[in-house]
Amino acid sequence: MAKKLKLAIIGCGGMSHGHLDGYIKIKQGESNKFEFAAMCDPVVERAQAFANEAGKVQDFIPKVYTDVGTMLKNEDLDAADICSRHCDHHINAIDCLNKGVNIMTEKPFGVTIKASKAIIEAAKKNGKICATAENIRRGPSQRTAYWMFNESKLIGDPRMFFSQMAQWRGLEPGGWHWRLDLMMGGGGMVMDSGAHFCDTIRYLFGDVDTVYARVEQLEQRKTNKNGKIIKDWQEDTWVATINFKNGVIGTWTVTWSAPGQGFSHVFYYGTEGSLQDHDVFHGPWGNAELTLKDGTKKPFEEIIKEYMATLSDDEKNRLFPLGFTNGVHIECYDFLDAIQNGREPEVTGEVGMRAKAICESIYESAYCGQAVKYDDVLSGKINAYQSQIDNFWGLW
Protein backbone atom coordinates (compact mmCIF):
# COMPACT_ATOMS: atom_id res chain seq x y z
CA MET A 1 0.00 0.00 0.00
CA ALA A 2 1.27 3.47 -0.87
CA LYS A 3 2.34 5.69 1.99
CA LYS A 4 -0.33 8.00 3.39
CA LEU A 5 0.97 11.47 2.61
CA LYS A 6 1.17 14.30 5.11
CA LEU A 7 -0.17 17.50 3.54
CA ALA A 8 -0.02 21.16 4.52
CA ILE A 9 -1.89 24.04 2.94
CA ILE A 10 0.04 27.32 2.94
CA GLY A 11 -2.23 30.33 2.57
CA CYS A 12 -5.82 29.92 3.71
CA GLY A 13 -7.63 32.69 1.89
CA GLY A 14 -9.08 33.20 -1.58
CA MET A 15 -8.56 30.31 -3.98
CA SER A 16 -7.31 28.03 -1.22
CA HIS A 17 -10.95 27.42 -0.25
CA GLY A 18 -11.34 25.55 -3.54
CA HIS A 19 -8.23 23.51 -2.78
CA LEU A 20 -9.46 22.62 0.70
CA ASP A 21 -12.77 21.49 -0.78
CA GLY A 22 -10.90 19.38 -3.33
CA TYR A 23 -8.80 17.64 -0.71
CA ILE A 24 -11.88 16.99 1.42
CA LYS A 25 -13.54 15.36 -1.60
CA ILE A 26 -10.41 13.25 -2.13
CA LYS A 27 -10.39 12.27 1.54
CA GLN A 28 -13.99 11.16 1.24
CA GLY A 29 -13.17 9.07 -1.86
CA GLU A 30 -9.78 7.65 -0.82
CA SER A 31 -9.41 8.10 2.90
CA ASN A 32 -5.92 6.57 3.08
CA LYS A 33 -4.34 8.66 0.34
CA PHE A 34 -3.28 11.48 2.67
CA GLU A 35 -3.92 13.30 5.90
CA PHE A 36 -4.15 16.99 6.63
CA ALA A 37 -1.07 17.59 8.80
CA ALA A 38 -0.93 21.39 9.05
CA MET A 39 -2.53 24.66 7.98
CA CYS A 40 -0.45 27.83 7.68
CA ASP A 41 -1.55 31.44 7.23
CA PRO A 42 -0.35 34.76 8.70
CA VAL A 43 -3.92 35.26 9.92
CA VAL A 44 -4.31 32.57 12.55
CA GLU A 45 -8.11 32.64 12.40
CA ARG A 46 -8.05 31.62 8.74
CA ALA A 47 -5.65 28.75 9.38
CA GLN A 48 -7.73 27.59 12.33
CA ALA A 49 -10.93 27.67 10.27
CA PHE A 50 -9.25 25.44 7.65
CA ALA A 51 -7.96 23.11 10.35
CA ASN A 52 -11.43 22.80 11.85
CA GLU A 53 -12.92 21.89 8.47
CA ALA A 54 -10.17 19.33 7.83
CA GLY A 55 -10.77 17.81 11.26
CA LYS A 56 -14.28 16.84 10.18
CA VAL A 57 -12.95 14.25 7.72
CA GLN A 58 -10.14 12.73 9.81
CA ASP A 59 -9.49 11.69 13.39
CA PHE A 60 -7.58 14.82 14.42
CA ILE A 61 -7.41 18.52 13.78
CA PRO A 62 -4.23 19.49 11.92
CA LYS A 63 -1.72 21.81 13.54
CA VAL A 64 -2.03 25.54 12.92
CA TYR A 65 0.89 27.84 12.07
CA THR A 66 1.35 31.47 11.13
CA ASP A 67 4.75 31.13 9.44
CA VAL A 68 6.18 28.54 7.10
CA GLY A 69 9.58 28.28 8.80
CA THR A 70 8.13 27.20 12.13
CA MET A 71 5.84 24.72 10.42
CA LEU A 72 8.73 23.12 8.53
CA LYS A 73 10.75 22.79 11.74
CA ASN A 74 7.93 21.04 13.57
CA GLU A 75 6.24 18.93 10.90
CA ASP A 76 7.45 15.98 8.83
CA LEU A 77 5.58 16.81 5.63
CA ASP A 78 5.38 15.08 2.26
CA ALA A 79 3.44 17.75 0.40
CA ALA A 80 2.60 21.43 0.59
CA ASP A 81 -0.08 23.18 -1.46
CA ILE A 82 0.93 26.84 -1.72
CA CYS A 83 -1.88 29.38 -2.10
CA SER A 84 -0.06 32.42 -0.73
CA ARG A 85 0.53 35.80 -2.39
CA HIS A 86 2.19 35.68 -5.82
CA CYS A 87 5.34 37.25 -4.40
CA ASP A 88 5.55 34.53 -1.72
CA HIS A 89 5.24 31.56 -4.07
CA HIS A 90 8.97 31.18 -4.69
CA ILE A 91 9.89 31.93 -1.07
CA ASN A 92 7.46 29.37 0.37
CA ALA A 93 8.20 26.81 -2.34
CA ILE A 94 11.99 26.95 -2.02
CA ASP A 95 11.80 26.70 1.77
CA CYS A 96 9.60 23.61 1.46
CA LEU A 97 11.69 21.97 -1.26
CA ASN A 98 14.90 22.50 0.71
CA LYS A 99 13.24 20.62 3.57
CA GLY A 100 12.36 17.73 1.27
CA VAL A 101 8.68 18.64 0.80
CA ASN A 102 7.01 18.29 -2.60
CA ILE A 103 5.08 21.40 -3.60
CA MET A 104 2.26 22.66 -5.77
CA THR A 105 1.83 26.41 -6.18
CA GLU A 106 -1.19 28.33 -7.30
CA LYS A 107 -0.91 30.15 -10.60
CA PRO A 108 0.97 32.18 -11.61
CA PHE A 109 3.74 29.71 -10.81
CA GLY A 110 6.17 32.45 -9.77
CA VAL A 111 5.95 36.23 -9.52
CA THR A 112 8.48 36.49 -12.40
CA ILE A 113 10.35 34.11 -14.71
CA LYS A 114 13.42 34.30 -12.44
CA ALA A 115 11.29 33.39 -9.43
CA SER A 116 9.82 30.47 -11.39
CA LYS A 117 13.25 29.22 -12.42
CA ALA A 118 14.42 29.38 -8.81
CA ILE A 119 11.57 27.07 -7.74
CA ILE A 120 12.33 24.61 -10.54
CA GLU A 121 16.04 24.56 -9.66
CA ALA A 122 15.26 23.90 -5.98
CA ALA A 123 13.01 21.00 -6.96
CA LYS A 124 15.72 19.49 -9.17
CA LYS A 125 18.39 19.95 -6.51
CA ASN A 126 16.27 18.20 -3.90
CA GLY A 127 14.74 15.55 -6.15
CA LYS A 128 11.20 16.70 -5.39
CA ILE A 129 8.07 17.46 -7.37
CA CYS A 130 7.03 20.99 -8.16
CA ALA A 131 3.59 21.31 -9.73
CA THR A 132 1.46 24.21 -10.91
CA ALA A 133 -2.12 24.43 -9.70
CA GLU A 134 -3.67 25.00 -13.13
CA ASN A 135 -7.24 23.76 -13.07
CA ILE A 136 -8.87 25.07 -16.25
CA ARG A 137 -7.27 22.74 -18.82
CA ARG A 138 -8.46 19.71 -16.81
CA GLY A 139 -12.22 20.18 -17.26
CA PRO A 140 -14.24 18.07 -19.73
CA SER A 141 -14.90 21.00 -22.06
CA GLN A 142 -11.23 22.02 -22.24
CA ARG A 143 -10.14 18.39 -22.74
CA THR A 144 -12.69 18.22 -25.54
CA ALA A 145 -11.28 21.38 -27.14
CA TYR A 146 -7.81 19.81 -27.17
CA TRP A 147 -9.21 16.63 -28.73
CA MET A 148 -11.14 18.65 -31.31
CA PHE A 149 -8.14 20.72 -32.41
CA ASN A 150 -5.39 18.11 -32.15
CA GLU A 151 -6.97 14.69 -32.67
CA SER A 152 -10.47 14.55 -34.19
CA LYS A 153 -9.97 17.73 -36.28
CA LEU A 154 -13.73 18.42 -36.19
CA ILE A 155 -13.14 21.97 -37.44
CA GLY A 156 -9.93 21.15 -39.27
CA ASP A 157 -6.49 22.42 -38.39
CA PRO A 158 -6.39 25.36 -35.97
CA ARG A 159 -5.85 28.67 -37.72
CA MET A 160 -6.63 31.70 -35.50
CA PHE A 161 -8.56 32.97 -32.49
CA PHE A 162 -10.08 36.25 -31.30
CA SER A 163 -10.64 36.62 -27.56
CA GLN A 164 -12.11 40.04 -26.79
CA MET A 165 -13.94 41.73 -23.95
CA ALA A 166 -14.85 45.39 -23.33
CA GLN A 167 -16.54 46.60 -20.15
CA TRP A 168 -16.69 49.65 -17.93
CA ARG A 169 -15.52 49.47 -14.34
CA GLY A 170 -16.19 52.47 -12.08
CA LEU A 171 -13.44 54.62 -10.61
CA GLU A 172 -14.55 54.79 -6.99
CA PRO A 173 -11.57 53.54 -4.92
CA GLY A 174 -12.25 50.13 -3.47
CA GLY A 175 -10.52 48.40 -0.59
CA TRP A 176 -6.82 47.64 -1.00
CA HIS A 177 -5.65 44.11 -1.78
CA TRP A 178 -2.10 42.87 -2.23
CA ARG A 179 -2.91 42.09 -5.89
CA LEU A 180 -3.08 45.85 -6.50
CA ASP A 181 0.59 46.28 -5.51
CA LEU A 182 2.94 45.63 -8.44
CA MET A 183 5.69 44.13 -6.27
CA MET A 184 3.32 41.69 -4.57
CA GLY A 185 1.13 40.75 -7.51
CA GLY A 186 3.74 41.01 -10.25
CA GLY A 187 1.16 42.48 -12.60
CA GLY A 188 -2.57 42.65 -13.12
CA MET A 189 -5.11 40.39 -14.76
CA VAL A 190 -2.82 39.60 -17.71
CA MET A 191 -0.98 37.23 -15.36
CA ASP A 192 -3.67 36.62 -12.74
CA SER A 193 -6.80 35.20 -14.37
CA GLY A 194 -4.81 35.57 -17.58
CA ALA A 195 -2.53 32.76 -16.43
CA HIS A 196 -5.45 30.40 -17.10
CA PHE A 197 -6.00 31.67 -20.62
CA CYS A 198 -2.30 31.55 -21.46
CA ASP A 199 -2.05 27.97 -20.23
CA THR A 200 -5.16 27.04 -22.23
CA ILE A 201 -3.93 28.47 -25.53
CA ARG A 202 -0.53 26.86 -25.06
CA TYR A 203 -2.27 23.55 -24.21
CA LEU A 204 -4.34 23.83 -27.39
CA PHE A 205 -1.80 25.28 -29.84
CA GLY A 206 1.71 24.72 -28.44
CA ASP A 207 4.50 27.19 -27.79
CA VAL A 208 4.42 30.82 -28.84
CA ASP A 209 6.85 32.42 -31.29
CA THR A 210 6.33 36.19 -30.91
CA VAL A 211 4.11 38.60 -29.00
CA TYR A 212 3.30 42.22 -29.73
CA ALA A 213 1.20 44.02 -27.12
CA ARG A 214 0.09 47.26 -25.59
CA VAL A 215 -0.79 47.31 -21.90
CA GLU A 216 -2.25 50.39 -20.28
CA GLN A 217 -4.12 51.82 -17.34
CA LEU A 218 -6.33 54.16 -19.36
CA GLU A 219 -8.13 55.50 -16.30
CA GLN A 220 -6.27 56.68 -13.21
CA ARG A 221 -7.40 54.00 -10.79
CA LYS A 222 -6.96 54.29 -7.03
CA THR A 223 -7.46 52.09 -4.01
CA ASN A 224 -8.15 52.76 -0.33
CA LYS A 225 -5.44 51.33 1.92
CA ASN A 226 -6.24 51.90 5.58
CA GLY A 227 -7.95 55.18 4.81
CA LYS A 228 -5.23 56.45 2.47
CA ILE A 229 -5.96 56.74 -1.26
CA ILE A 230 -3.06 55.26 -3.23
CA LYS A 231 -2.38 54.06 -6.77
CA ASP A 232 -3.89 50.82 -8.04
CA TRP A 233 -1.08 49.32 -10.13
CA GLN A 234 -3.16 46.90 -12.18
CA GLU A 235 -3.63 47.49 -15.90
CA ASP A 236 -7.19 48.02 -17.09
CA THR A 237 -6.54 47.43 -20.80
CA TRP A 238 -4.44 45.21 -23.03
CA VAL A 239 -4.31 44.33 -26.69
CA ALA A 240 -2.01 41.45 -27.64
CA THR A 241 -1.20 39.72 -30.91
CA ILE A 242 0.17 36.23 -30.26
CA ASN A 243 1.94 34.22 -32.98
CA PHE A 244 2.48 30.51 -32.39
CA LYS A 245 5.29 28.37 -33.74
CA ASN A 246 2.79 26.18 -35.59
CA GLY A 247 1.41 29.17 -37.50
CA VAL A 248 -1.69 29.87 -35.39
CA ILE A 249 -2.26 33.57 -34.69
CA GLY A 250 -4.49 35.03 -32.00
CA THR A 251 -5.57 38.35 -30.57
CA TRP A 252 -6.40 38.77 -26.89
CA THR A 253 -8.00 42.10 -26.02
CA VAL A 254 -9.48 43.04 -22.65
CA THR A 255 -10.51 46.38 -21.17
CA TRP A 256 -12.45 47.71 -18.21
CA SER A 257 -12.20 51.28 -19.53
CA ALA A 258 -14.83 51.09 -22.28
CA PRO A 259 -17.88 53.19 -21.28
CA GLY A 260 -21.14 52.47 -23.05
CA GLN A 261 -21.90 49.18 -24.77
CA GLY A 262 -19.86 46.24 -23.50
CA PHE A 263 -19.31 42.84 -25.08
CA SER A 264 -17.45 39.59 -24.58
CA HIS A 265 -16.80 36.98 -27.22
CA VAL A 266 -14.24 34.36 -28.09
CA PHE A 267 -13.95 32.71 -31.51
CA TYR A 268 -11.57 29.88 -32.36
CA TYR A 269 -11.23 29.19 -36.10
CA GLY A 270 -10.01 26.08 -37.86
CA THR A 271 -9.76 25.37 -41.56
CA GLU A 272 -13.27 23.81 -41.55
CA GLY A 273 -15.26 25.82 -39.01
CA SER A 274 -15.31 27.72 -35.74
CA LEU A 275 -15.99 27.41 -32.02
CA GLN A 276 -17.73 30.33 -30.31
CA ASP A 277 -17.31 30.87 -26.56
CA HIS A 278 -17.76 33.89 -24.27
CA ASP A 279 -15.13 33.64 -21.51
CA VAL A 280 -11.86 35.50 -22.26
CA PHE A 281 -10.10 33.85 -19.31
CA HIS A 282 -11.42 30.37 -18.54
CA GLY A 283 -13.16 28.75 -21.51
CA PRO A 284 -14.16 27.12 -23.69
CA TRP A 285 -17.19 25.89 -21.75
CA GLY A 286 -20.03 23.51 -22.48
CA ASN A 287 -22.32 26.32 -23.65
CA ALA A 288 -20.00 27.07 -26.58
CA GLU A 289 -21.18 26.40 -30.12
CA LEU A 290 -19.56 24.77 -33.12
CA THR A 291 -20.24 26.11 -36.62
CA LEU A 292 -18.98 24.21 -39.66
CA LYS A 293 -18.03 25.69 -43.01
CA ASP A 294 -21.39 24.65 -44.51
CA GLY A 295 -23.29 26.49 -41.75
CA THR A 296 -24.15 23.42 -39.67
CA LYS A 297 -24.24 24.25 -35.95
CA LYS A 298 -23.65 21.90 -33.05
CA PRO A 299 -23.83 22.59 -29.30
CA PHE A 300 -20.42 21.99 -27.78
CA GLU A 301 -22.10 19.84 -25.13
CA GLU A 302 -22.72 17.26 -27.89
CA ILE A 303 -19.05 17.36 -28.84
CA ILE A 304 -18.09 16.82 -25.18
CA LYS A 305 -20.24 13.67 -25.13
CA GLU A 306 -18.55 12.47 -28.32
CA TYR A 307 -15.13 13.02 -26.77
CA MET A 308 -16.01 11.29 -23.50
CA ALA A 309 -17.28 8.29 -25.45
CA THR A 310 -13.82 7.87 -27.02
CA LEU A 311 -12.13 7.39 -23.63
CA SER A 312 -11.35 3.98 -22.18
CA ASP A 313 -12.07 3.33 -18.52
CA ASP A 314 -8.35 3.71 -17.74
CA GLU A 315 -8.26 7.08 -19.54
CA LYS A 316 -11.34 8.30 -17.69
CA ASN A 317 -9.84 7.28 -14.36
CA ARG A 318 -6.58 9.07 -15.22
CA LEU A 319 -8.15 12.28 -16.50
CA PHE A 320 -11.14 12.38 -14.16
CA PRO A 321 -10.11 10.49 -10.99
CA LEU A 322 -12.93 9.53 -8.61
CA GLY A 323 -15.29 10.81 -11.29
CA PHE A 324 -14.20 14.42 -10.67
CA THR A 325 -14.94 16.99 -13.36
CA ASN A 326 -13.97 20.02 -11.24
CA GLY A 327 -10.48 21.04 -12.36
CA VAL A 328 -9.39 22.11 -8.87
CA HIS A 329 -10.31 18.73 -7.42
CA ILE A 330 -8.46 17.00 -10.26
CA GLU A 331 -5.29 19.09 -9.86
CA CYS A 332 -5.18 18.30 -6.14
CA TYR A 333 -5.62 14.59 -6.79
CA ASP A 334 -2.97 14.65 -9.53
CA PHE A 335 -0.48 16.31 -7.17
CA LEU A 336 -0.94 13.72 -4.43
CA ASP A 337 -0.99 10.79 -6.88
CA ALA A 338 2.20 11.98 -8.60
CA ILE A 339 4.02 11.98 -5.25
CA GLN A 340 2.72 8.53 -4.31
CA ASN A 341 3.60 6.98 -7.66
CA GLY A 342 6.88 8.77 -8.34
CA ARG A 343 5.70 10.35 -11.58
CA GLU A 344 5.48 13.86 -12.96
CA PRO A 345 2.24 15.76 -12.39
CA GLU A 346 0.42 16.83 -15.54
CA VAL A 347 1.16 20.52 -15.04
CA THR A 348 4.73 20.68 -13.80
CA GLY A 349 6.51 23.82 -12.71
CA GLU A 350 8.08 23.97 -16.16
CA VAL A 351 4.65 23.86 -17.82
CA GLY A 352 3.39 26.54 -15.48
CA MET A 353 6.42 28.73 -16.23
CA ARG A 354 5.94 28.33 -19.97
CA ALA A 355 2.36 29.55 -19.69
CA LYS A 356 3.54 32.39 -17.48
CA ALA A 357 6.12 33.34 -20.11
CA ILE A 358 3.25 34.21 -22.47
CA CYS A 359 1.89 36.63 -19.85
CA GLU A 360 5.33 38.09 -19.29
CA SER A 361 5.88 38.41 -23.05
CA ILE A 362 2.81 40.64 -23.17
CA TYR A 363 4.19 42.85 -20.39
CA GLU A 364 7.70 42.89 -21.86
CA SER A 365 6.44 43.82 -25.33
CA ALA A 366 4.36 46.68 -23.94
CA TYR A 367 7.25 47.86 -21.76
CA CYS A 368 9.72 47.83 -24.68
CA GLY A 369 7.24 49.09 -27.28
CA GLN A 370 8.07 46.35 -29.76
CA ALA A 371 7.40 42.70 -30.55
CA VAL A 372 9.35 40.20 -28.45
CA LYS A 373 10.44 36.64 -29.01
CA TYR A 374 8.76 34.32 -26.53
CA ASP A 375 11.92 32.23 -26.19
CA ASP A 376 13.88 35.34 -25.20
CA VAL A 377 11.42 36.08 -22.41
CA LEU A 378 11.38 32.44 -21.29
CA SER A 379 15.18 32.31 -21.17
CA GLY A 380 15.42 35.58 -19.25
CA LYS A 381 17.23 37.40 -22.07
CA ILE A 382 14.37 39.93 -22.09
CA ASN A 383 13.23 40.98 -18.62
CA ALA A 384 13.09 44.79 -18.63
CA TYR A 385 9.59 44.86 -17.14
CA GLN A 386 10.26 42.09 -14.64
CA SER A 387 13.63 43.44 -13.49
CA GLN A 388 12.02 45.95 -11.12
CA ILE A 389 10.16 43.11 -9.40
CA ASP A 390 13.21 40.81 -9.41
CA ASN A 391 15.32 43.55 -7.83
CA PHE A 392 12.72 44.21 -5.15
CA TRP A 393 12.72 40.55 -4.10
CA GLY A 394 16.47 40.03 -4.46
CA LEU A 395 16.22 37.76 -7.48
CA TRP A 396 19.55 38.40 -9.17
| Strand boundaries in the chain, DSSP class E | 5-10, 34-40, 63-65, 79-82, 102-106, 130-133, 158-166, 174-175, 208-216, 222-225, 228-231, 237-244, 249-255, 263-270, 273-277, 289-292, 297-299, 372-373
What is the mean predicted confidence (pLDDT) over 66-84? 98
pLDDT in tens, 317-371: 999 999 999 999 999 999 999 999 999 999 999 999 999 999 999 999 999 999 9
Contact between 141 and 286 (Cβ < 8 Å): yes
- Label residue 1 by pLDDT band (50, 70, 90): low
pLDDT in tens, 80-123: 999 999 999 999 999 999 999 999 999 999 999 999 999 999 99
Helices (H) and strands (E) in the chain, counts: 14, 18
pLDDT of residue 42: 97
pLDDT in tens, 12-59: 999 999 999 999 999 999 999 999 999 999 999 999 999 999 999 999
pLDDT in tens, 184-196: 999 999 999 999 9
How do beta strands 249-255 and 263-270 pair? unpaired
Q: Which of 169, 329, 157 is nearest to 236 (CA)?
A: 169
Domains of the chain: 5-135+320-347 (3.40.50.720), 137-310 (3.30.360.10)
pLDDT of residue 3: 84
Average pLDDT, the chain: 97
Contact between 345 and 338 (Cβ < 8 Å): yes
